[in-house]
Structure 1
Amino acid sequence: MPTPDDVYRAAPPAEPDAAQHRTRTRAWVARAWSEVWRLGAAFAFSVVVVGAVGWEADTGQRQITPDQLALDLLVGLVALGLVLLRRRAPTTIALLLSAATAVSTFAVGPTTLAVVSLSTRRGWWRIVLVGLVFSAAGWTYGQLYPSVDPMSTLVELVGSVVVYALLVWIGAYIGLRREHLRSLHERVATAEREQASRVAEARANERARIAREMHDVLAHRMSLVAMHAGALAYRTDLPPEQVAESAALVRDSAHEALGELREVLGVLRGLDGPSSDDEATGQPAPEGPQPTLADLPELVRSASEAGTAVRLAADSVYLASLPTAVSRTVYRIIQEALTNVRKHAPEQPATVELRGARGRGLWITVTNPTVAERLPVAGRDVAPAAPPSGLGLIGLSERTDLAGGSLSAGESDGRFVMQAWLPWDP
């Protein structure tokens, strides 16, 4: 029986991704084609120059022997091979090919290609050095293959300088254009990276917002469940009627927590678009819980039923005239503050105070007596407090910061005071 290692060794190697293979093939073909047409252009230019020199030799205007013409062609073919190395050693190849034009007109085409390639890098001292060799090679060619016209040497020297300057200008233009295109590609890549970073940041912020929403929604309900369940577990002296009432409160609180969790999950599903079930039924996805101060009396009632007596000191104007976003934030702050009271100071009363004015801002103050140690009551144990998550005050600080406000919390004179300020635009 073959072992897993034998099966692994017998398995064929994974084929590369087809798209990447096509991309590499296209890139290789593009590079090969760019090299072929440049060599073809250099060869054609060399043929034209050799043809002109051969015409001068046939008409007697220049003294060239057949052996010299053969040497010209041989050096030119070597130059065509050397020009392939111009990208690895641009200065050296340009110097060698420029020197080769002293004995070979067929090397003019490869030399032209090498000079243009060198000029694209715009290393000016290298360009000047190659230019001196290029001009000296042109003068040397005039001395080795003299023309019958005595002025032809001076004309060829001036012409070589002008031609070299033209080649440098062409190469510098190509180099600048390449740099410009490269900068555009870098800008596009940078913009794409920044866009991806902004999308990732927005996604992280949205996840953090949903996490805060889930914490605020579920912590309130689950603290009620923990409170009543703890009472049932540790209060063995309760009459059957009170046990049934507490069990019903646990059941109702659990159902409400599940319902609110379902709504939050609906928000999460809405981030990726409607689900197939929503499309099939034609019903919109459930919206997330968005309570406001209009729901504050219900929050106070549920907290009182859980054993935390809440005294609300607020004018009814706050329940109606606040902007929706501010009202929602105030509700969440009070909800989380009462949840913390149940966790850290169970069965202690809490005071919620709202004060402020339009244009000056709104202050939310929640206070409760601190509890140093929970002492057992005679004849029964004390239910443990709900475990702290360590995220309550952090979430409240983040929520108030996002709303443009501030939050402070701490103990003072035996009471724990949490105070938040939110802007209230006129």
Structure 2
Amino acid sequence: MTSAAVSEHSWLLPGTLTAPTARARRTLRDWFVDSLCFLAAFGWAVVAWDNSLSAEPAMAMNVGPSWLNEVDFLASLVLCGALWVRRRWPVGLALASLPLALFTVSGDVALLIILFTVSVHRPFPVAASMFGVHLLAIPIYLWLRHDPVMSLWLTVGWILLCLGAVLAWGMFVRARRQLVVSLRERAHRAEAEQQLRVTQARQLERTRIAREMHDVLAHRISLLSLHAGALEFRPDASPEEVARAAGVIRGSAHAALRDLREVIGVLRAETGVAEGAEPERPQPTLVDVPTLISESRAAGVRVSFVEEVADQVELPPRVGRSVYRIVQEGLTNARKHAPGVVVDVRLTGRQGDGLTVEIRNPWPVGVAGQGVGSPAARSGTDIPGAGTGLVGVAERVGLAGGRLEYGRDAGGHFRLAAWLPWPA
């Protein structure tokens, strides 16, 4: 079925209108089918007319006065011409041809084609009613056109068989067209849904990369702020200390710019990465946690690190990356809100039991509130934060199927603990 034909018959789907809202242009296939129908109806009309002129009435196809045969032939020509508009007004044409069905023999094929069109283009109740109305014309037709050879009951049976076959065939064609249109619509819907899923996966991937970069930049910028604050409040520092701090600031700034440039390149790409693919950068895992601890210690943060993780080689990369981000966020929060305290980092777990990450630091003295205070604020060196770090950690742990706990414990420490599943 061509696209134009599909648009023409799309109103046949269940639950839609009973008539097309816009008439589609007749296709080449429609012209071919209509021409065949016209030729078949006209050929039958010529054969019936020629038979009515037979010299032997017993061999004629119908019996009746001669003037009726002439009117019959003219009526058949009208019905043949009406076949060209049968697609637009099938019900109206079936009703208009009802008076001709009382006596016509030459137009029988044209009448059957009109009724077939009704059964194809209209629901079953409408088609059945049209066939029922034409059945009412059978008694008058048999009275005017009784067959001298075939018995009455055989004639009635033959007429009923022809009408029933046309109705069944038309309903079959209608059901098949509905099925084709439904399958085509389903295919288009599936394609649209697939494109939507790809778009959503791309957006989710970009959001995930942005969340990764929030953790990365927050960590590096906190290091920058810490070293810059040391230079600001230690003007009497030795040249070696100043050079070392400046080197750390320069390295952290270059690393932050590199990471930011790469993530902006990914976010600006017209075609995102495939669904389920890992981001290009960064991809730290559990083995990179010691390096992260070393960077914090070099920045002056006192960190106590304990690692009791068995079978690290078997740890899934996604879990390892989540562990890295959790530790990174914990150290960043400690530098922001509790500078100068000792931060305890502990990693424990094994395959099948899961992996536990625990970060603990003393609650700052003289600071109240629900979150971790910032005694450095009194000196003007506090590091501003967006307040979304722990929210991002909670989302990350939730997506991994783990558990997260954070807040002030009974011992007066701020505790950030997460458990991540590690399948056996």
Normalising by structure 1, report the TM-score: 0.77
Q: Distance in 2 between matches of 1:155 and 1:175?
A: 30
Aligned to 1:294: 287
Q: Distance in 1 between matches of 2:314 and 2:29?
A: 72
1:338-349 alignment, distance < 5 Å = 338-349=331-342
Which of 355, 361, 386 is the aligned partner of 2:354? Answer: 361
3-state SS, counterpart of residue 31 of structure 1: coil
1:18-417 alignment, distance < 5 Å = 31-54=26-49, 55-61=51-57, 62-63=62-63, 67-80=67-80, 82-83=82-83, 86-87=86-87, 90-120=90-120, 123-146=123-146, 149=148, 151=150, 153-233=152-232, 235=233, 237-239=235-237, 241=239, 242-262=241-261, 264=263, 288-315=281-308, 317=310, 322-371=315-364, 372=367, 374=374, 382-413=379-410, 414-417=412-415
3-state SS, counterpart of residue 387 of structure 1: coil
Deviations 1:122-145 (A, max 9, x none): 744444433333233344234234
Distance change (3 Å), C-alpha of 1:415 and 1:107: farther
Residue identity opposite 1:291 in structure 2: P
Shift of 1:342: 1.9
Shift of 1:388: 1.6
Shift of 1:91: 3.8
The sequence identity of aligned pairs, in percent, is: 35
| Contact 1:405 1:420 (8 Å CA) reproduced | yes
3-state SS, counterpart of residue 409 of structure 1: strand
Shift of 1:63: 4.7
3-state SS, counterpart of residue 407 of structure 1: strand
Of stretches 167-176 and 209-218 in structure 1, the one that deviates more from structure 2 is 209-218
Q: Distance in 2 between matches of 1:343 and 1:375?
A: 9
3-state SS, counterpart of residue 213 of structure 1: helix
Of stretches 37-46 and 155-164 in structure 1, the one that deviates more from structure 2 is 37-46
3-state SS, counterpart of residue 109 of structure 2: helix
Aligned to 2:421: 423
| Contact 1:326 1:403 (8 Å CA) reproduced | yes
Of stretches 125-134 and 159-168 in structure 1, the one that deviates more from structure 2 is 125-134
Distance change (3 Å), C-alpha of 1:169 and 1:287: closer
Question: Structure 1 unaligned runs (5+)?
Answer: 1-22, 275-285
Q: Please report the RMSD computed on the Cα atoms of aligned residues, expressed in angstroms.
A: 3.6
Residue identity opposite 2:131 in structure 1: G
Residue identity opposite 1:190 in structure 2: R
Aligned to 2:13: none
Q: Distance in 1 between matches of 2:26 and 2:280?
A: 56
Q: Distance in 2 between matches of 1:321 and 1:184?
A: 47
Shift of 1:174: 0.6
Q: Distance in 1 between matches of 2:95 and 2:5?
A: 34
Deviations 1:142-187 (A, max 9, x none): 423455x275554433221111011012112211211221232133
| Contact 2:336 2:374 (8 Å CA) reproduced | no
Count of equivalent residues? 389
Distance change (3 Å), C-alpha of 1:374 and 1:391: closer
Distance change (3 Å), C-alpha of 1:162 and 1:334: same
Distance change (3 Å), C-alpha of 1:53 and 1:254: same
Distance change (3 Å), C-alpha of 1:325 and 1:273: closer
| Contact 2:37 2:83 (8 Å CA) reproduced | no
3-state SS, counterpart of residue 366 of structure 1: strand
Distance change (3 Å), C-alpha of 1:358 and 1:127: closer
Q: Distance in 2 between matches of 1:78 and 1:186?
A: 39
| Contact 1:49 1:106 (8 Å CA) reproduced | yes
Distance change (3 Å), C-alpha of 1:408 and 1:99: farther
Residue identity opposite 2:34 in structure 1: L
Distance change (3 Å), C-alpha of 1:101 and 1:338: same
| Contact 1:134 1:160 (8 Å CA) reproduced | no
